[in-house]
Structure formats: C-alpha cells, structure tokens
Structure 1
C-alpha cells in the first residue's frame, strides 16, 4: 500500500501512479530495495527519434513494452525477453542502457512495485506480428494521437520524457 501522504510524480489510467524515479546516476542498476523489490522492467526503445509504444490488449492502453521479471532472471534479461515477446524487436543485454529505478502504485489496492527502466536504439526495426498480449505497436514522435485512439499510459509518457532528457538521448 502507498503512504497516503506520498504525492505521485504523475498518475495515469488504470489506477497507476509513479511514486518515484531514481536516476541511474544516483543509484546503480545492481541496487536492491527491501521494501519494494524490483518486479518489472520497462524498455524505452528509440528509432530515429521516435519511441516504440505498444497497445496492451487486456488494459486497452498504449504503453511502453515491458513486464514482469521471472524467478532467477535479471532485470536486464527480462527486458530483452519482454521486448522480443511483445514486439518482435531484438536487442542484446549489452545494447541496453540502464536509466533508473521506479516505484509504482498499481490498481485499486495501490500495490507498490519496483521497476527497472532501460533504453536502447533499434537500428533496423523488425516487422510486428500481433500476439496474445499486444495488438499493435507505433513508433511515436511525441504526444500525437495514436492510431485507433485509446488510452495512453501517462506514467509511461513521463518516463519517456525523462529518458529523452538523459545525457545520451
């Protein structure tokens, strides 16, 4: 549960709230948190100044690719796997750049989860094939409307802007 006095950095649809973002320069990738273990990853994948967004079927929302970390899997390995499973895009662990740690409150119960955010450049994007989780992808330039409309996860848009301002982007 979140502390009712904690003010989120940004809130989004589907009862999501970004509680904190700790830049990689402040806290290394290997940092672990007892109160909020790292349970998910997000990937900000760039190509020619555009970022890849996915339309997640169940949540009916445009968001960044990513997902849960399996037992015995590192966040970096989970990022590579999730990106491939959801979008067909392929990067290696070495191509990922760690950007920072997140704390996010999710759902009606406001369960708090920790996340790891990575970014990479897609040199030659692969074609997308819809799957059980993701029905569409879009390379987004900014805040333009996405194809077919639908909700956009504003928490993820906030994270994209943090990555856009990062030194290597």
Structure 2
C-alpha cells in the first residue's frame, strides 16, 4: 500500500482512510459534511471498477448524497444506478478524507463494501461506460483513479486481516 497522501493527475489527494464504526460516522456527519459514498465491490480476489463517462477513468462506484439521504442510502442507490447491482446489505468500511482541487476543499466520503459470491450482471449506462474486475495486487493503470485504487486496496486488506 502507498503512503498517504497520494495524488491523482488533477492534484486531488487521498489524505487519509480511517477505519471507524458506523456509529462514529453518524457522529462525524453531524459535525462535518460527508457529501458522498463509495462502494468497494469484491468478488474472488478482484474489485469492481467502472469506467466513469465524465472523468474518463476507472473508479469505484459511488456518488453524491441526495437531500435527506443517509450515506448508506446513497451507497445503495449509487451502486444500483451505476452498476445495476441491487444490494442493500452493505458493510460500512471506512471514511476517506480528500483534499480536492476544483473547487479547493477538504471532503469526507463514506466507504462501504460488499463481497459477492457470484459475478453479477452489470448494466452499462450514461455514467458507467464499462466495467472491469481489478485485482488490487496488480499495478494501477494510467487510466485508473489512484485514489480509488488505494481505497480499494486498503478496504480489501482490512477485511482479510
């Protein structure tokens, strides 16, 4: 695993990934905005990455919370919208801390995980142009978000230790 912080080509940084409980996340959300959720979907020894149509890179499924939505509800909805996977029993994994550039801000994202026994049928759509199963033991390609890859590596590693 890489030492944090790590940066992507736009200058955004993954500053920290904290493995806390969901109760701690709920208290954190009361103090600091947590505007989005990510989901680490694993099967066998690989993690699901989607090719984002807007950012033109491989990344984890996830996205912005809608008004009144919890981080968990956002994770479930975004996973369904971006991949076609209908899973409600996600496990809270961690909170990721980012230093973002456009606009410049510090942001926290809730990270959930789910391990699938069977490869799901995935749905290409306006947001996700393609999917791949990436083994976290492999190098990060130029067209992959190094921030999301590092989150995936750390979440997968934490669930095996």
Query: TM-score, length-normalised on structure 1?
Result: 0.82
Alpha-carbon displacement from aligned partner over 1:38-88 (angstroms, at most 9, x marks no partner): 011010001112100000011001110000011111111111110110011
Q: Superposition RMSD on alpha carbons, in Å? A: 2.4
Residue pairs, 1:66-145, within 5 angstroms: 66-92=62-88, 95-142=89-136, 143=138
Unmatched 5+ stretches in structure 2 = none
Alpha-carbon displacement from aligned partner over 1:9-57 (angstroms, at most 9, x marks no partner): 2111333211222212597232325664101101000111210000001
Distance 2:25 2:120 in 1: 28
Distance 2:69 2:117 in 1: 26
Find out whether 1:165 has 2:161 as its counterpart: no
Change (3 A) 1:27 1:14: farther
Change (3 A) 1:26 1:67: closer
Aligned length: 158
Unmatched 5+ stretches in structure 1 = 1-6
Which position in structure 1 is the counterpart of 2:34?
Answer: 38
Distance 1:72 1:104 in 2: 23
Query: TM-score, length-normalised on structure 2?
Result: 0.86
Change (3 A) 1:55 1:46: same
Deviating beyond 6 angstroms after TM superposition, the runs of 4 or more aligned structure 1 residues are: none
Kindly indicate whether the alpha-carbon contact (under 8 Å) linking 2:52 and 2:127 is maintained by their aligned counterparts in 1.
yes
